[in-house]
Amino acid sequence: MTITPWWRGAVVYQVYPRSMMDANNDGIGDIPGIISKLDYIASLGVDAIWVSPFFKSPMKDFGYDISDYRDIDPIFGTLADFDELISKAHGRGIKIIIDQVLSHTSDQHAWFMESRESRTNPKSDWYVWADPQPDGNPPNNWLAIFGGSAWEWEPRRCQYYLHNFLKSQPDLNFHCDAVRKEILDEVEFWLKRGVDGLRLDAINFCFHDKELRSNPVKPEEERKGRGFSVDNPYAFQKHIYDNTRPENIAFLESLRALMDRYPGTVTLGEISADDSLKTMAEYTEGNSRLHMAYSFELLVDKLSGSYIRETVETLEKNLSEGWPCWSIGNHDVVRFMSRWGGKQQSPQLAKTLNALLLSLRGSVCSYQGEELGLTEAEIKQHELQDPYGITFWPRFKGRDGCRTPMPWSHTEAHAGFSRAHTWLPIPAAHKEQAVSLQDGDANSILNAYRKFMHWRKQQPCLRLGDIRFVSAAEDHLVFVRNLGGDALLCAFNFSASAQTILLDANYQLEATQGHGCYSVSMNGDNLAVPAYGALISRMV
């Protein structure tokens, strides 16, 4: 018998450590705080936790600028705390996936501090260095996602270095054999420590074009801005030379060979490319590269059933052995209830959107707070922490609004997250959605999430089956999930009005009307779905 890997169809709960729970009351979440909330996370029925970066860092980009890959930043705890997190999560049947930021380091990493000193030191080629043009300008037109040129002048070497993100995040030179070997050693340090998987940040950014050719201009109509503001000049270029280079494939295969020496571990790659769906398929091809990949394709501003159908069908068409992973929210984008919820912010819509995400073919990343239906927090300019938002204010307010601390208690100071002033403010509206209020309410968003998750575990066709779309428009989506003849009809109404959806056939459904948020009626090939309603019903 073929054993299905645990991660296929799994739900991965993303924890942003700064904002989960503060155990030492300094206003910032930490690893002991995560440990204290493991029972809560287990109650959700998730399979794994993805922990965003907790490594030693100057925190210019809140942990995505690593100065030591093998140590915990003191604000989060110690290696002993992390070992305890793994042990106690495993004791509850929960896997641990950690972020690995491989394409770049902090400028305070010892490697970079050595590399920048001269052109002849042992690590002189560990980063991407280039001479200026004759007029002193940077070597080409590459741009940084966080604004401005992707090149920064270093007077010690009289050269520019490449940084695809902040200037304090210099890019490693993956064309250097020693760099690739060292990075695999850094990864193996955590595999030996017992982690179950890696979420690979910006994994398509590892390699650059050796010839340093300038990127061509992207036509205005193609500037969709996946994962970054369309006001950002980064969207003005076709990024064919500064990322997603063909050399990356061989590195992914060497990374996979390492993972295969640790059975049961998984890689989940974040893909932000000009054609992310094509790259996802390529990076998961052949059972020798990434296990899974996800992109920003469903992190869009507008909710549309037609768009979701087009996106999923496009990926399904390109995938061979690959496996998708879907998310509708994370630590980089406005929370989905603010993007998709409209002015009414219906709790029923939050339940329906969570059910939709958990019903798509593939695995799922569910960001902390989505199970509560949290909305985007309004952060004032003087409260901003995110360098991205500070640079592009007010046209783009950054990512702080989705990173605020979890509201645990509606009666305690700082929503029970900490006894100290919190690193980001907690909105009063979030206190009204606190766990303490939703926990005992059978009709809450939180308990609807739990109920659906535990039911989903008993439905192989939802976790592993194929998908066929039946009907889609701006305001609804209907599809069938099927595995070995067991089929579920899944219907979602995104509008504030009841609607009757014409299907492509006369479907026979179980009389129980399945696992829906409201009762739904069927008349021939017409499906009547209430406002913001969801239905998942077994077909007979």
Domain membership of residue 96 (yes or no) is yes
Range of the domain at 397: 381-432
- What's the confidence (pLDDT) of residue 212? 98
DSSP bridge partners of 493: 476
210 shares its domain with 348: yes
Total tally of structural domains belonging to the chain: 3
400 shares its domain with 345: no
477 shares its domain with 451: no
Domain membership of residue 168 (yes or no) is no
Angle (CA) 513 517 519, round 5°: 40
Domain membership of residue 151 (yes or no) is no
CATH number of the domain enclosing 328: 3.20.20.80
- What's the confidence (pLDDT) of residue 513? 53
279 shares its domain with 409: no
* CA separation for the pair 291, 326 (Å, rounded): 14
pLDDT at 305 over 70: yes
Q: Report the predicted TM-score, pTM, of the whole model to 2 decimal places.
A: 0.95
* CA separation for the pair 456, 465 (Å, rounded): 12
- What's the confidence (pLDDT) of residue 390? 86
pLDDT level of residue 319 (50, 70, 90 thresholds) = confident
Express each pLDDT in 260-303 by its tens digit.
999 999 999 999 999 999 999 999 999 999 999 988 899 999 99
Check if 231 is active-site: no
Residue in 379, 329, 142, 310 with CA at minimum distance from that of residue 240: 142
Express each pLDDT in 6-65 by its tens digit.
999 999 999 999 999 999 999 999 999 999 999 999 999 999 999 999 999 999 999 999
345 shares its domain with 424: no
DSSP bridge partners of 14: 50, 367
pLDDT level of residue 515 (50, 70, 90 thresholds) = low
100 shares its domain with 245: yes
* CA separation for the pair 409, 414 (Å, rounded): 8
- What's the confidence (pLDDT) of residue 517? 56
328 shares its domain with 315: yes
339 shares its domain with 451: yes
Among the options 99, 107, 196, 270, which is catalytic?
270
392 shares its domain with 374: no
Check if 185 is active-site: no
pLDDT level of residue 333 (50, 70, 90 thresholds) = very high
199 shares its domain with 314: yes
Contact at 8 Å (CB) between 314 and 308? Answer: no
* CA separation for the pair 443, 438 (Å, rounded): 8
Residue in 23, 27, 103 with CA at minimum distance from that of residue 61: 103
Among the options 201, 282, 370, 400, which is catalytic?
201
Task: At 153, list the tokens.
Answer: 């002048």
Report the 10 Å Cβ neighbour count for 180. 20
Express each pLDDT in 145-180 by its tens digit.
988 999 999 999 999 999 999 999 999 999 999 999
